[in-house]
């Protein structure tokens, strides 16, 4: 046991030292390769993937995919073929990048200087070894688990991503949902540790994909805690170094603009501008090196933990082996010009992204604010109390969800059942309005609201008239649900046609409403989209905030369509959305968004130091190189 602990200490200490030493050995090769591959991904590989996807969508008779269309398409013959092709193609692109970086790491470990072109040709040769049953876990680790965990095992094609906030927020509202999130996290971490060495093994050892995955599993079983410590070590060291670097730049900026010179002086403007450029250059370098450095770390981890009795380590080919290969000759002959062109493209591309991130800000001083399910942070969601609180907070709209009861009355409810909010595991279509009115819809939130009833849409319309506008989200259940007709009838009866807008993730329901009442303003709630969704027949789009960027906002506005964004509960996200020029921000925290809006409109306390600070945060959060 003592020897085991000592071995782990040695492994952890040597990991840092060896990773740094061997990464530095072929540093320029890593940098050039990653720079070139990012440009190829942005302008060639990525568009190829998109065009193939778009071709199959059109083959299936669709112009775009939104929301549930993804499931429909995914289950169709065309969708299955498309997904299979894209998975294999995307894996090949990712493997070439991570495999080439692994080749560089392995040769650095052996003390050999390398040529990038040799690495690419070697990896192309190794690629065929991955095409067996082991391909599935290799696809998962490189295309899903690596990017999802954000530990560095991500490619130019698939960057870090996370479970959409609207899913995690909803799951975190119930104990079962929290348990499910916890289980997902555990499964993802275990699979990461089990398969994390599969790529180094298949590249360095002369084995097939299936055997590489099995060997990675065996190393995991013997060294699970060492592997976990290794990944944690990477995260800790990386976070500390990045935090120090950011703190230095922020501290220097505050020192220059707050103590040495005036925040609005020309000296501050020049010096902070220089600092900002230096920070952005550093940001680009770090962005380029995260994946190569982590792959180098994995290679050293592999060598530290592998069985010393590896018999058949791969001997990589070089010029002597490829000198008669015509493609190799052509590639080598034109490589310098090709790399030079790609580097110039990368510099221009990076400069454009930096400029757009820092300066492409269109403040919409008319942006409106919607209280999500009413003022749901201070009162039970979808209740009269929440609507009244939203009025007091100064929201322009209150967003509510409506469903049909057993006796065809319209009530407010977000979930499919009353379980979370009223403790009754039944749907609205299973209960009459009289039965629903007896439910306690407030105790789940606070004892202060014990006995709060579930309101009808009619009562909410009467309460809201002349006080606050409503965004009514339709949640129809089945083709025979009279929700659309009954909602329209109530709105007309209460004379509220110009005080409400209608939204839904059900496109057919929206079209039914528009046909029934052409004067009604309708908006499509989009959780995910591919293709020309902008041309859909709606007045506005309600978009999950990760889908919103300058291009999307500009494109929708050019078509005369509004842009609503949900659910914004963070100051920085609120600032970003206002800068992008969205028309409506849906939030649980109306006072916060109002405060951000007032600050941005007035320009109060806005000087060069503030601009510098916001620019650095903007680069960190939104500049994707």
Residues involved in catalysis: 372, 414
Q: Count of CB atoms within 10 A of residue 440's CB?
A: 18
DSSP 8-state class, residue 436: H
The structure tokens listed for 414 are: 């977000």
Helix (H) or strand (E) holding 363: none
The structure tokens listed for 410 are: 């319209």
Q: Count of CB atoms within 10 A of residue 312's CB?
A: 8
Q: Enumerate helices (H) and strands (E) in the chain, giving the number of each.
A: 25, 11
Q: Count of CB atoms within 10 A of residue 540's CB?
A: 20
Tokens 């989009």 correspond to 526
Name residue 429's beta-bridge partners: none
DSSP 8-state class, residue 142: I
Q: In terms of C-beta distances under 8 Å and separation of at least 24 residues, what long-range contacts does 561-565 make, across chains too?
A: 561/534, 562/523, 564/370, 564/471, 564/503, 564/523, 564/540
The structure tokens listed for 322 are: 């490829």
Half-sphere exposure of 583 (CA within 13 A, CB side): 17
477 close to 427: Cβ distance less than 8 angstroms: yes
CA distance 387 to 469: 10
Helix (H) or strand (E) holding 65: strand 64-66
Backbone dihedral angles phi then psi of residue 373, each to the nearest 5 degrees: 55, 35
What HEC string does 168-222 produce?
A: HHHHCCCHHHHHHHHHHHHHHHHHHHHHCCHHHHHHHECCCHHHHHHHHHHHHHH
Which among 200, 202, 189, 199 has a CA at the least distance from the CA of 231?
189
Q: What Rg do the C-alpha atoms of the chain give, in angstroms?
A: 28
Q: Count of CB atoms within 10 A of residue 518's CB?
A: 7
Report the sign of the C-alpha dihedral through residues 120, 122, 124, 130, in that order.
Answer: negative
Q: How many residues does the chain have?
A: 625
Pairing type for strands 410-412 and 397-404 reads antiparallel
Backbone dihedral angles phi then psi of residue 566, each to the nearest 5 degrees: -135, 165
């Amino acid at each position: 046991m003592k020897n085991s602990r000592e071995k782990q200490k040695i492994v952890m200490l040597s990991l840092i030292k060896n990773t740094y030493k061997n990464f530095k050995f072929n540093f320029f090769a890593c940098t050039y390769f990653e720079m070139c591959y990012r440009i190829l991904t942005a302008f060639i590989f990525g568009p190829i993937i998109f065009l193939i996807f778009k071709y199959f969508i059109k083959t299936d008779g669709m112009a775009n995919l939104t929301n549930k269309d993804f499931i429909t398409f995914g289950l169709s013959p065309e969708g299955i073929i498309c997904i299979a092709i894209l998975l294999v193609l995307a894996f090949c692109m990712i493997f070439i990048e991570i495999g080439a970086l692994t080749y560089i790491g392995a040769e650095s470990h052996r003390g050999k200087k390398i040529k990038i072109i040799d690495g690419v040709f070697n990896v192309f040769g190794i690629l065929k070894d991955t095409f067996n049953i082991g391909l599935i876990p290799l696809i998962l680790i490189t295309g899903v688990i690596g990017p999802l965990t954000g530990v560095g095992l991500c490619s130019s094609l698939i960057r870090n991503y996370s479970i959409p906030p609207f899913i995690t927020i909803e799951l975190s509202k119930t104990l079962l949902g929290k348990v499910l999130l916890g289980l997902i996290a555990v499964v993802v971490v275990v699979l990461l540790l089990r398969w994390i060495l599969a790529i180094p093994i298949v590249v360095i050892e002369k084995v097939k994909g299936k055997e590489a995955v099995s060997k990675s599993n065996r190393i995991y079983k013997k060294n699970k805690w060492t592997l976990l410590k290794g990944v944690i070590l990477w995260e800790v060291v990386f976070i500390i170094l990045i935090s120090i670097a950011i703190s230095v730049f922020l501290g220097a900026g505050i020192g220059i603009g707050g103590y040495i010179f005036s925040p609005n002086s020309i000296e501050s403007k020049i010096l902070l501008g220089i600092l900002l450029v230096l920070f952005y250059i550093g940001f680009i370098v770090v962005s380029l090196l995260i994946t190569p450095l982590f792959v180098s770390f994995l290679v050293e981890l592999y060598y530290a933990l592998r069985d010393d009795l590896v018999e058949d380590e791969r001997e990589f080919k070089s010029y002597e082996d490829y000198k008669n290969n015509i493609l190799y000759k052509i590639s080598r002959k034109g490589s310098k010009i090709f790399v030079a062109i790609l580097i110039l493209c990368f510099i221009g591309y990076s400069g454009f992204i930096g400029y757009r991130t820092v300066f492409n800000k269109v403040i919409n001083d008319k942006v409106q604010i919607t209280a999500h399910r009413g003022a749901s942070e201070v009162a039970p969601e979808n209740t009269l109390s929440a609507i009244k609180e939203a009025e007091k907070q100064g929201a322009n709209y209150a967003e509510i969800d409506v469903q049909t009861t057993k006796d065809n009355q319209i009530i407010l409810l977000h979930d499919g059942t009353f379980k979370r909010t009223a403790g009754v595991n039944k749907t609205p279509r299973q209960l009459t309005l009289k039965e629903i009115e007896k439910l306690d819809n407030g105790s789940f939130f606070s004892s202060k609201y014990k006995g709060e009833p579930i309101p009808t849409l009619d009562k909410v319309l009467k309460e809201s008239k002349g006080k606050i506008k409503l965004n009514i989200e339709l949640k129809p259940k089945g083709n025979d649900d009279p929700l659309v007709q009954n909602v329209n009838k109530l709105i007309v009866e209460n004379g509220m046609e110009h005080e409400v807008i209608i939204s839904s993730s059900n496109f057919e329901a929206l079209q039914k409403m528009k046909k029934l009442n052409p004067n009604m303003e309708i908006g499509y709630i989009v959780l995910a989209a591919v293709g020309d969704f902008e041309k859909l027949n709606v007045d506005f789009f309600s978009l999950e905030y990760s889908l919103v960027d300058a291009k999307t906002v500009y494109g929708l506005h050019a078509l005369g369509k509004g842009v609503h964004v949900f659910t914004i509960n963070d100051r920085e996200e609120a600032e970003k959305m206002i800068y992008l020029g969205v028309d409506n921000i849906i939030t649980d925290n109306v006072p916060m968004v109002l405060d951000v809006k007032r600050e941005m409109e007035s320009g109060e306390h806005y000087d060069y130091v503030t601009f510098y600070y916001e620019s650095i945060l903007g680069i960190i959060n939104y500049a994707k190189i």
